[in-house]
Amino acid sequence: MGYPGPTSRSAELYERALRRIVGAVNSPARSYAAVGLPYPVFIARGQGAYLWDVDGNRYIDYLAAFAPGILGHAHPEIVETIARAAADGTLFGTPTPYEVELAERLQAAIPSLERVRLVSTGTEAVMSAVRVARAFTGRPKVVKFEGCYHGHSDFALIRAGSGPATLGQPDSAGIPESTAAEVIVVPYNDAAALEAALERWGDQVAAVLIEPIVGNMGIVLPEPGYLQAVRDLTHRHGALLIFDEVITAFRVTYGGAQNVLGVEPDLTTLGKAIGGGLPLGAYGGRADVMDRVAPLGPAYQAGTLAGNPLSVRVALKALDILGRPGVYEELDRKGRYLAEGVLAAARRHGFAAQVNRMASGFTLFFTDRPVRDYASASTASKELFARFFREMLGRGVLLAPSRFEAWFVQIPHSQADLDETLAAADAALAAMAA
Ligand code: PLP
């Protein structure tokens, strides 16, 4: 156990990767730069709640692949489904019976999805939903919220959270000023700021795009009445409301966070958990809006791999498993147990800390302030988080390498795993306090 040293296979693979893969990672969020380590662990395989790196170290996995992981690794029913689906062929370029069933089941789980389109990633889902909103309203601008992340399409990277914030690049290079000019960014949990923005630009705003519960400045919950105020303001100004549920759907509950928050958007974007570990995204919502998408309407959106049968059949199996009685109650119980335990340990060792939790996902912020928006999330100590990450990794617990991410509890995490994790956290925090 422990961070693999300079003669490890992880270190060796990193050197090789650096020569051919940009920065040695295929997504910048996977870099360990923000946590002060020279290279990330290279994972060879996973089983249930555990990952093993190429040097044979075992980690209890709360990274959960940045949220999709709920079922755990190599779930036997998923493995069997993949084998069966692969034997039937993986890509046809035609409609399939599986995607019809998935569209029906998504609508049954999230009633606002009157029409849906399957895509391959969350980025595509959001990019496409915004295009449709622009096509429907004939307006150019989008309102988004400081610290929310919606993938890496141009408009979405204007002051985004999580990966870009960790790298200190709220705005990416390569995005034209003209794109930034169509994006209005306001603080989350501040209805007055949104109202002021819509008073000023409302007749140009196609959509207000929001994570109904934020996952990308760490977990941040909407304050009571906030999302209803957002809904009312969009109605008043004729803008569509898009809920980006790429993280929240099938994480907070079976269906969307909208099912429990009691506010219905016009459009919803999905990704991460719905694919059961394979690439799959979706967007959908009101029929009159979605019917503007090609081939019915003028808003073009397409995909060679969209709705590929392998991902879709795995998604159907994932929904079967997630829909079983008690799954979300148990995830919630484990999330609460761990979140409360970690917070208590941090405070016991004298650290100012906060926990924000949505069911089985939570963030530990090293700050003395309640975290309700990006400004307060940014007060969380980078240094303390980095140290905590390293101490946990060295004790066999894998977290996301950013203070703006979350821990995600998965179905196979056992009580013994949770207790081992709390013991590791206690020891990590003791070492930090020493
Ligand atoms: N929307 C949200 C809320 C996300 O958290 C993410 C990814 O982290 C995305 C969209 C983009 O999804 P993907 O990385 O699958 O393109």
CA of 68 to the centre of ligand 1 (A): 10
Closest residue by CA, ligand 1 atom 10: 150
According to the model, what pLDDT value does residue 161 have? 57
Say yes or no: CB of residue 246 within 6 Å of ligand 1: yes
What does pLDDT average to over the chain? Answer: 95
* C-alpha dihedral sign at 391, 376, 146, 224: positive
According to the model, what pLDDT value does residue 243 have? 99
According to the model, what pLDDT value does residue 49 have? 98
Average pLDDT of the segment spanning 407-411:
98
According to the model, what pLDDT value does residue 158 have? 84
**Interatomic CA distance for residues 414 and 407, integer angstroms:** 15
Those residues whose C-beta lies under 8 Å from the C-beta of residue 19, and which sit 6 or more positions away, are: none
According to the model, what pLDDT value does residue 2 have? 76
CA of 246 to the centre of ligand 1 (A): 6
Confirm if 40 and 27 have CB atoms less than 8 A apart.
no
Average pLDDT of the segment spanning 232-236:
98
The torsion defined by the Cα of 170, 172, 173 and 176, in degrees rounded to 10, comes to: -100
According to the model, what pLDDT value does residue 10 have? 97
Q: Would you place residue 178 in the very low, low, confident or very high pLDDT band (cuts 50, 70, 90)?
A: confident
Q: How far is CA 281 from the centre of its chain?
A: 12
CA of 116 to the centre of ligand 1 (A): 18
**Interatomic CA distance for residues 273 and 279, integer angstroms:** 10
Confidence check: pLDDT of 163 > 90: no
Average pLDDT of the segment spanning 191-217:
96
According to the model, what pLDDT value does residue 169 have? 47
Q: Which tokens sit at 90?
A: 């993986």
Average pLDDT of the segment spanning 290-302:
97
Say yes or no: CB of residue 247 within 6 Å of ligand 1: yes
Least confident of 2-6, 91-95, 115-119, 166-170: 166-170
In this chain, the answer to whether the domains covering 9-74+326-433 and 76-322 adopt an identical fold is no
Say yes or no: CB of residue 244 within 6 Å of ligand 1: yes
Average pLDDT of the segment spanning 15-43:
96
Place of tokens 């794109």: 179
Those residues whose C-beta lies under 8 Å from the C-beta of residue 386, and which sit 6 or more positions away, are: 34, 35, 36, 403
Closest residue by CA, ligand 1 atom 1: 150
Q: Would you place residue 177 in the very low, low, confident or very high pLDDT band (cuts 50, 70, 90)?
A: confident
Percentage with pLDDT > 70 across the chain: 97
Percentage with pLDDT > 90 across the chain: 92
Residue 16 buriedness (CB in 10 A; 0-12 / 13-18 / 19+):
exposed
CATH fold of 76-322: Aspartate Aminotransferase; domain 2 (3.40.640)
Confidence check: pLDDT of 195 > 70: yes
CA of 165 to the centre of ligand 1 (A): 14
Average pLDDT of the segment spanning 194-199:
94
The string of pLDDT tens digits covering residues 377-392 is 999 999 999 999 999 9
Average pLDDT of the segment spanning 205-211:
98
**Interatomic CA distance for residues 124 and 122, integer angstroms:** 5
Average pLDDT of the segment spanning 132-150:
96
Q: Which residues are catalytic?
A: 149, 244, 272
CATH fold of 9-74+326-433: Aspartate Aminotransferase, domain 1 (3.90.1150)
ipTM for the complex? 0.99
Average pLDDT of the segment spanning 37-61:
97
**Interatomic CA distance for residues 84 and 152, integer angstroms:** 33
Confidence check: pLDDT of 376 > 80: yes
Say yes or no: CB of residue 245 within 6 Å of ligand 1: no
Confidence check: pLDDT of 56 > 70: yes
The string of pLDDT tens digits covering residues 349-363 is 999 999 999 999 999
Q: Which tokens sit at 117?
A: 């389109």
According to the model, what pLDDT value does residue 168 have? 44
Would you list the domain boundaries of the chain?
9-74+326-433, 76-322
Average pLDDT of the segment spanning 286-306:
97
Confidence check: pLDDT of 272 > 60: yes
